[in-house]
Amino acid sequence: MAVIFISALFGSGMHLIRGEWDWMLVLALAPGSLLGGWIGARISRRIGSVLLIRIMCGTLLLFALRMII
């Protein structure tokens, strides 16, 4: 997560410097991202890692099937 955070931070910084920043989109997405991250962290503590991995695998499978179709 630390590597992803650093990469996202630098990527976002470059978009901000280049003027490619849509503030309305940021204002629309940021609250949902913060809330989703908080809820996801709380849920992941309550369920086991095996179940969490199975949920992720199922979700990725559904996305793959949707992309194939």
Look at the chain and count its residues. 69
Placement of tokens 């992941």 in the chain: 44
Tens of pLDDT along the chain (69 residues) come to 788 889 988 998 999 899 888 889 889 989 998 999 899 888 888 888 899 899 999 999 999 999 999
For 28, the domain range is 22-69
- Specify if 9 maps to a domain: no
- Does the residue 12 lie in any domain? no
pTM: 0.55
Residue 34 lies in a domain: yes
Specify if 45 maps to a domain: yes
The structural domain count of the chain equals 1
Q: Is residue 7 part of a domain?
A: no
